[in-house]
Amino acid sequence: MSGNDDIAHLEEELPLQDLPLDGWHRARGARMVGFAGYHMPIQYEGIMAEHAWTREHAGLFDVSHMGQIGFSGEGVDDALEILLPSDIKGLKPFRQRYSMLLDEEGGILDDLMVSRLGDGAFDGADIYMVVNGATKYDDIGWMIEHLPDEVVMNHMDEQALLALQGPEAGEAMATLVPETADLIFMQSGLFTWRGVPLWISRSGYTGEDGFEISLPAADVTLLADALCALPQVKPIGLGARDSLRLEAGLPLYGHDLTPAVSTIGADLGFAIHKRRREEGGFIGHARVMKELADGPGSKRVGLRIEGRLPAREGATIHAGGAQVGEVTSGGFAPTVGAPIAMGWVSLPHSAIGTALEIEVRGKRIAAEVAPMPFVPHRYRRKA
């Protein structure tokens, strides 16, 4: 047995960790699976029912596996503008942006949410970041390497994170915290509920109106119970979270986004602020500028699929005899009522309406490049 085999064996043996709500999920009949290093609920009553409930009412998702990081110190904005292609200096208190970490070649290391704090939240830190669970330790390592000593980064692993999503999320949240009624999409604030500090942003990853709520892990059971006691709210598992985000056209890191792909190809150019494009000064800028000028080699697109057979991650995409891409996530879309997919295809085949074929178990099924989202976003953009 080689040394490498020994290491691979050890990695497999690493035990999964428990989320603060582990017992709470199990008590509600969740089926637990390993995901991003944690035991996580994949479903409670069933993915289809949970998906539909979230689109019609409000679903509560435990996303405590995600990394929550606070930043403070002299020059924090300048330092983060080296790491992120977003406008951090122009980010106002209580506002949030979608952003990403890029490597030197412009490959995507992670996608994330970044906010400017206020009201002394998180011990008076300046900036708050939420990164993906599976990548959080790599992200932290990358950032330690690239941040100056004056900037202090605090991985707040004692904080839990819940997402409340759906058209009735606003009503439900306001029942517990009336002041949240005034929040609009990508706005956040510090609130107090039964003496517990809640950092709440109006955002999420389902395409629906909703909130993400960061609070001390010690208090998360209390809040989850209070939310699920409301008639609008049910707990929802990872399975429906995935089908909801796919219908919303939102990419999943590690699948639709990887270090091998670029921001412009991923159709995430909106996350790169105009000033930042012009001035540069962030890691990965050269790739962004080159692809803005010459176009990316391939693009992330939505695919509508004929018939009922789902095309999943890894299925190859063809135009006539040539392979032109690959499905990066796909499945049956409960609200659409048909299979849909997201994939990467070479630029000449990426225009909306292009007829393509996807190979599933040796059979070719017809697909068409489709606009995303597949289900319209219903964010609350105005008070």
Residues in the site for other proteins, rule: CB under 8 A? 42-43, 46-49, 51, 239, 242-243, 308-310, 312, 331-332, 334, 339, 361
DSSP for 232-275, please give it. TEEE--HHHHHHHHHHTT---BTTTB-TTSBTTTTT-GGGS-HH
Q: Are 254 and 64 in contact (CB under 8 A)?
A: no
State how far the Cα of 8 lies from the Cα of 178, in Å rounded to an integer.
50
Residue with tokens 């990965």: 284
Torsion of CA 349, 245, 184, 219, to 10 degrees: -150
Total Cβ atoms within 10 A of residue 93: 13
User: What's the min distance (Å) between Cβ of 243 and other proteins?
Assistant: 6
Distance from chain centroid for Cα 334:
20
Minimum CB separation from other proteins for residue 49, in Å? 8
The answer to whether residues 343 and 258 touch, using CB atoms and an 8 Å cutoff, is: no
Angle, in degrees to the nearest 10, between helices 136-146 and 76-83: 120
The minimum distance between CB 301 and other proteins, in angstroms, equals: 22
Distance of closest approach, residue 147 Cβ to other proteins, in angstroms: 38
49 vs 190, which CB is nearer to other proteins? 49
The nearer residue to other proteins, 42 or 79, going by C-beta atoms, is 42
CB of 375 to other proteins, least distance (A): 15
Nearer to other proteins, 47 or 345 (CB): 47
In angstroms, rounded to a whole number, what is the distance separating the alpha carbons of residues 51 and 166? 10
CB of 60 or CB of 365, closer to other proteins: 365
Q: Considering the complex, state which of residue 92 and residue 363 has its C-beta at the smaller distance from other proteins.
A: 363
**Least separation in angstroms between CB 203 and other proteins:** 25
- Return the number of the residue (307 or 348) whose C-beta is nearest other proteins: 307
Nearest 5°: the CA angle 257, 261, 265 is: 95
Among 191, 245, 252, residue whose Cα is nearest residue 51: 245
Smallest gap from residue 347 Cβ to other proteins (A): 30
Q: Least distance from C-beta 305 to other proteins, angstroms?
A: 11
Q: What angle do CA 105, 205, 219 make, to 5 degrees?
A: 110
Q: Given the complex with other proteins, which of 189 and 239 has the nearer CB atom?
A: 239
Give, rounded to a whole angstrom, the gap between the first and last alpha carbons of the chain.
63
Query: Cα-flanking dihedrals φ and ψ of residue 31, to 5°?
Result: -90, 125
Closer by beta carbon to other proteins, 42 or else 369 = 42
